[in-house]
Structure 1
């Protein structure tokens, strides 16, 4: 069973629907006991870094996430869910993230031909192809909606990148922690394959 964290932060229903298409059993929850028993855990997210961290702390899900990660079972963050795993974001100065991984989140710089937020399809490069991308060709397109991007401190955890006004760390993997800046649940067959790979870990 895949638990999807319900903390009032956006793209929960679309994530649930995508796993449903794959025939995976999911539950939307903020119940510690349900989270603890889940085979996999998903941290979705759309909105601001500060609001999301506030909601996680309100429901004490920051603690639940850290305990779950310690269990060694597969965990994935999607979009804002990726950003929350790191130290901080320029979007919300002074707000500390979950800091499960080292790195910071920065605003996409303005420039010629660059519209912020970045909304649309971009191709992926695989500097160190990870488990989420089994059966997926380099250069495949996925769907992004974001104004801020990850700059991970450790390049070895970066499994996919893209370029949009800057070099974006689009997906990371370390031990049982996985995360995507893009939306696999909105990325057609490529995205469904990514979620299928996660469900089979």
Structure 2
């Protein structure tokens, strides 16, 4: 296993191949990891996700992956959550009932409001506006567009955790960051040049 390769967590609900291809495109290697104990070998871990929050957190907990992810977080591994992966980092979600998340961020996942003219899910390109500075943003410009597909959004209770925001009916948190944790609501692997630059910056972060 190459030292420094990034682990892509496979818990049955991620767009794994697209993420893997994006990592290869920017010149890095990755491993798809479905065995929790193997995460100990990685200092960079990507938690992707497509689908429902309840089933995702159930799968993570039943497999032991949530415990291993928390252990790696506590030991300084840099974890990037993508879309549902970002939402799983939060305290709770109201999607299909109330579900407890990994509780790494003091934040809740809420459904977009039913407003006239607001199509749900939020699908397509929208601008990402930075709220603070971070090394992962070094090759990006505030206001660039990323590709979104989601019906629920993250609401942070701690404004210091907001890395970027996006407008869609309301202003919602589209990137979160604290210490060795980063979450993005959009899909960088589908966001063309903007997304590839973000993935490359993440992979170049020093551990």
Q: Normalising by the residue count of structure 2, what TM-score does the alignment of the two structures yield?
A: 0.94
The DSSP-based 3-state class of the residue aligned with 1:114 is coil
Aligned 8 A contact 1:110 1:165 in 2:
no
Measured in 1, the distance between the counterparts of 2:172 and 2:102 equals: 20
Measured in 1, the distance between the counterparts of 2:77 and 2:99 equals: 27
Which residue does the alignment assign to 1:148?
152
The offset of 1:183, in angstroms, is 0.5
The offset of 1:13, in angstroms, is 1.2
Measured in 2, the distance between the counterparts of 1:105 and 1:31 equals: 27
Which residue does the alignment assign to 2:64?
60
Please, which moves more after superposition, 186-195 or 109-118? 109-118
Q: Does 1:28 align with 2:32?
A: yes
Cα-to-partner distance string for 1:22-61 (whole Å, 9 max, x where unaligned): 1211000122342111120010000000010111012110
The DSSP-based 3-state class of the residue aligned with 1:62 is helix
Equivalent residues in 2 for 1:41-190, closer than 5 Å: 41-190=45-194
* Gap regions ≥5 residues in structure 2: none
Which residue does the alignment assign to 1:38?
42
Alignment RMSD: 1.0
Measured in 1, the distance between the counterparts of 2:160 and 2:127 equals: 20
The offset of 1:126, in angstroms, is 1.0
The DSSP-based 3-state class of the residue aligned with 2:90 is coil
Aligned 8 A contact 1:129 1:160 in 2:
no
The offset of 1:10, in angstroms, is 2.8
The offset of 1:92, in angstroms, is 3.4
Using a 3 Å threshold, how does the CA distance of structure 1 residues 144 and 55 change in structure 2: closer, same or farther? same
The DSSP-based 3-state class of the residue aligned with 1:159 is strand
Q: 1:191 aligns with which of 184, 190, 195?
A: 195
Measured in 1, the distance between the counterparts of 2:124 and 2:22 equals: 19
Q: Which runs of 4+ in 1 moved over 6 A?
A: none
Q: Normalising by the residue count of structure 1, what TM-score does the alignment of the two structures yield?
A: 0.97
Aligned length: 201
Cα-to-partner distance string for 1:45-88 (whole Å, 9 max, x where unaligned): 00000010111012110101100101112111000000000111
Measured in 1, the distance between the counterparts of 2:71 and 2:99 equals: 21
Aligned 8 A contact 1:91 1:106 in 2:
yes
